[in-house]
């Protein structure tokens, strides 16, 4: 392990302020990562040739700026949440371990982005190009990179003319849903589904019907019955790993559902934003039934959430309507963003980041397996999510609250209910994002201990 050693010569401020600023800069550049342990006061003082008091003052200053935190008996760490200069979606307070969101791991993306931007800044020709309005669907070389992304993630024989670049996965399925449905129409999904889709259904004024599922995904009988009763327009699915329940659909299940949907003229919106980390040979509706499937993917889960680029493939019959919906919502995906992502895809950076995410998630999921070996949890080897059904004595809301009291944040099953679907008692937690390995261990200890606790006392007061 290399010890972080800043160069203070470039700072003109007093030594302790310079060191606090160097910590801030190193976090911004990704040289110091969330959860990383800083050298002890004495070690850093020796390395820098300053007094221990200077390091102590600098660490106090950095702590005041919410950049680092000291843990009694363990040392000083870069904060996993709430760092001073960086934008955060999670506002968890100090000492809270937030496992509520499935985010990509912060690796060295900031450093890679800095290098890529430097190279891009030299390329005046491409800069001139990306300053212009682009053709519908995106620039040719951005679409070529998109096809390569689809290939990396296992989607075959996509046609270049049909690929549409979007501002991420959410934008992709929002556009597809808006193009295929009108207010009052019915959208089907698994009974527990990604809340981002529920939000779209609600905003577009759709009736959102949740379907029963088993360990292969939604049940064909449930799809059939819903088609007969509600005459839906679309079925939204996460085929290669359902968010939140982690089922993976088999070929047989995909085929039998596709047959029903064809008969009832229902489109599939296949959201593979989380699936792209999974085994690329897993079956999809798009590979098996491209005539009824709109495929949506994005780079947020594999690369990093701020790179808002997605790719959408639609059957010819609805391609134009979906292009119009993309155009109506934002005219085109931001070309600068598409340029960066395309460069990462074509120069191998994207593949390297995906490989690292997969390796780390694999190890983290094995750790989950060690802590939860006595419970019937579900997770994909390389996925971010863990689905944990609760003991009979516990309820999702109350369990989530008990964990929050112990400073671990997770999501109750009810957060994922489609429409009025009756959610079973379970929680979802995520093992990626900014959570350090040490914090993940602590959280898993707390979750497995909470599973052993009796349920809440019954209230006989009325
Ligand atoms: C299943 C699923 N689809 C889409 C998204 C959002 O994707 P994006 O960030 O590319 O818009 C998420 C984010 O968690 C997700 O879990």
| Residue 375 confidence (pLDDT) | 94
Residue among 190, 300, 307, 416 whose CB has most ligand 1 atoms within 8 A, to mutate: 300
Question: 11 near 21, Cβ under 8 Å?
Answer: yes
Least confident of 154-158, 239-243, 376-380, 414-418: 154-158
Question: pLDDT above 90 covers what percent of the chain?
Answer: 80
| Residue 462 confidence (pLDDT) | 62
Q: 322 pLDDT exceeds 70?
A: yes
Domain segments of the chain: what residues?
A: 1-87, 110-348, 350-452
Q: Measure 179 CA to ligand 1 centroid, in angstroms.
A: 19
Q: Which atom of ligand 1 is nearest to the CA of 101?
A: 14
Residue nearest to atom 9 of ligand 1 (CA): 300
Q: 403 pLDDT exceeds 70?
A: yes
| Residue 93 confidence (pLDDT) | 64
Q: Is 243 in the pocket of ligand 1 (CB under 6 A)?
A: yes
Q: 141 pLDDT exceeds 50?
A: yes
Contacts of 107 (CB under 8 A, 6+ apart): 33, 353, 356, 357
| Residue 455 confidence (pLDDT) | 81
Q: Is 170 in the pocket of ligand 1 (CB under 6 A)?
A: yes
Q: Is 169 in the pocket of ligand 1 (CB under 6 A)?
A: yes
pLDDT, tens digit (0-9, with 9 covering 90-100), for 65-123? 778 888 777 889 888 654 333 333 444 567 899 999 999 999 999 999 999 999 999 99
Identify which of 267, 230, 268 has the alpha carbon closest to the alpha carbon of residue 249. Answer: 268
Q: Is 167 in the pocket of ligand 1 (CB under 6 A)?
A: no
Q: 1 pLDDT exceeds 90?
A: no
Environment class of residue 339 by beta-carbon count within 10 Å: exposed (0-12), middle (13-18) or buried (19+)? buried
Q: Is 236 in the pocket of ligand 1 (CB under 6 A)?
A: no
Distance CA 428, CA 214 (A): 17
pLDDT, tens digit (0-9, with 9 covering 90-100), for 346-361? 999 999 999 999 999 9
Q: 243 pLDDT exceeds 80?
A: yes
Residue nearest to atom 3 of ligand 1 (CA): 273
Average pLDDT (385-406) is 96
- Residue 135's pLDDT band, with cuts at 50, 70 and 90, is confident
pLDDT, tens digit (0-9, with 9 covering 90-100), for 193-203? 999 999 999 99
Q: Measure 199 CA to ligand 1 centroid, in angstroms.
A: 12
| Residue 71 confidence (pLDDT) | 78
- Residue 4's pLDDT band, with cuts at 50, 70 and 90, is confident
Q: Measure 40 CA to ligand 1 centroid, in angstroms.
A: 39
Average pLDDT (50-59) is 93
Residue nearest to atom 14 of ligand 1 (CA): 102
| Residue 91 confidence (pLDDT) | 47
Average pLDDT (266-288) is 95
Residue among 274, 294, 312, 429 whose CB has most ligand 1 atoms within 8 A, to mutate: 274
Q: Which atom of ligand 1 is nearest to the CA of 102?
A: 14
Identify which of 5, 309, 377, 17 has the alpha carbon closest to the alpha carbon of residue 172. Answer: 309
Q: 270 pLDDT exceeds 70?
A: yes
Q: Is 238 in the pocket of ligand 1 (CB under 6 A)?
A: yes
Q: 250 pLDDT exceeds 60?
A: yes
Q: 369 pLDDT exceeds 50?
A: yes
Environment class of residue 446 by beta-carbon count within 10 Å: exposed (0-12), middle (13-18) or buried (19+)? middle
Q: So what's the architecture of 350-452 in CATH? A: Alpha-Beta Complex (3.90)
- In the chain, how long is the greatest CA-to-CA distance? 77
Q: 231 pLDDT exceeds 80?
A: yes
Least confident of 20-34, 327-341, 404-418: 20-34
| Residue 282 confidence (pLDDT) | 96
User: What is the chain's mean pLDDT, rounded?
Assistant: 92
| Residue 303 confidence (pLDDT) | 95
Dihedrals phi, psi of 29, to nearest 5 degrees: -85, -10
| Residue 81 confidence (pLDDT) | 52
Q: Measure 432 CA to ligand 1 centroid, in angstroms.
A: 14
Q: 368 pLDDT exceeds 70?
A: yes
| Residue 67 confidence (pLDDT) | 85
Q: Which two tokens stand for residue 243?
A: 């968010």
Q: Measure 214 CA to ligand 1 centroid, in angstroms.
A: 23
Which CATH code for domain 1-87? 1.10.10.10
Residue nearest to atom 2 of ligand 1 (CA): 273
| Residue 166 confidence (pLDDT) | 97
| Residue 24 confidence (pLDDT) | 87
Q: Which two tokens stand for residue 35?
A: 């959860």
Q: So what's the architecture of 110-348 in CATH? A: 3-Layer(aba) Sandwich (3.40)
Q: Is 419 in the pocket of ligand 1 (CB under 6 A)?
A: no
Q: Is 310 in the pocket of ligand 1 (CB under 6 A)?
A: yes
Q: Measure 308 CA to ligand 1 centroid, in angstroms.
A: 10
- The reply to whether omega before 244 is within 30° of 0 (cis) is yes
Contacts of 19 (CB under 8 A, 6+ apart): 6, 8, 44, 48, 50, 54, 55, 58, 62
């Amino acid at each position: 392990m290399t010890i972080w050693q800043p160069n203070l010569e470039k700072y003109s401020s007093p030594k302790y302020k310079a060191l606090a600023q160097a910590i801030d800069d190193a976090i911004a550049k990704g040289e110091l990562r969330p959860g990383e342990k800083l050298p002890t006061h004495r070690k850093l003082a020796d390395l820098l040739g300053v007094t221990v008091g200077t390091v102590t003052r600098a660490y106090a200053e950095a702590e005041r700026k919410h950049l680092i935190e000291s843990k009694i008996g363990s040392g000083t760490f870069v904060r996993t949440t709430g760092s001073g200069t960086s934008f955060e979606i999670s506002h968890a307070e100090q000492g809270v371990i937030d496992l509520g969101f499935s985010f990509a791991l912060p690796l060295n993306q900031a450093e890679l982005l800095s290098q890529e931007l430097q190279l891009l800044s030299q390329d005046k020709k491409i800069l001139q190009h990306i300053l212009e309005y682009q053709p519908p669907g995106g620039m040719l070389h951005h679409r070529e990179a998109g096809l390569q992304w689809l290939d990396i993630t296992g989607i075959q024989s996509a046609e270049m003319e049909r690929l549409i670049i979007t501002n991420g996965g959410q934008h992709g399925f929002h556009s597809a849903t808006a193009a295929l449905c009108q207010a009052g129409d019915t959208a089907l999904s698994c009974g527990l589904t990604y809340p981002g889709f529920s939000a779209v259904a609600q905003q577009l004024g759709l009736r959102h019907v949740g379907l029963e599922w088993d360990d292969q995904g939604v049940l064909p009988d449930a799809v059939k019955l819903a088609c007969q009763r509600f005459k839906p327009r679309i079925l939204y699915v996460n085929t290669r790993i359902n968010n939140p329940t982690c089922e993976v659909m088999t070929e047989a299940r995909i085929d039998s559902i596709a047959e029903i949907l064809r008969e009832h003229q229902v489109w599939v919106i296949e959201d593979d934003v989380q699936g792209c980390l999974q085994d690329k040979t897993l079956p999809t509706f798009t590979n098996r039934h491209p005539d009824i499937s709109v495929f949506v993917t994005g780079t947020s889960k594999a690369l990093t959430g701020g790179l808002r680029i997605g790719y959408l493939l639609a059957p010819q019959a609805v391609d134009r309507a979906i292009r119009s919906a993309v155009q109506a919502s934002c005219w085109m995906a931001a070309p600068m963003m598409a340029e960066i992502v395309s460069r990462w895809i074509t120069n191998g950076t994207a593949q390297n980041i995906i490989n690292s995410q997969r390796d780390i998630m694999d190890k983290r999921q094995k750790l989950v397996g060690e802590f939860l070996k006595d419970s019937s949890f579900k997770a994909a080897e390389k996925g971010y999510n863990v689905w944990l059904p609760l003991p009979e004595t516990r309820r999702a809301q109350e369990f989530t609250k008990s964990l929050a009291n112990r400073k671990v944040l997770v999501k109750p099953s009810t957060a994922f209910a489609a429409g009025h679907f009756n959610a079973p008692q379970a929680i979802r937690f995520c093992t990626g994002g900014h959570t350090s390995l040490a914090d993940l261990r602590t959280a898993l200890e707390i979750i497995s201990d909470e599973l052993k606790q009796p349920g809440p006392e019954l209230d006989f007061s009325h």
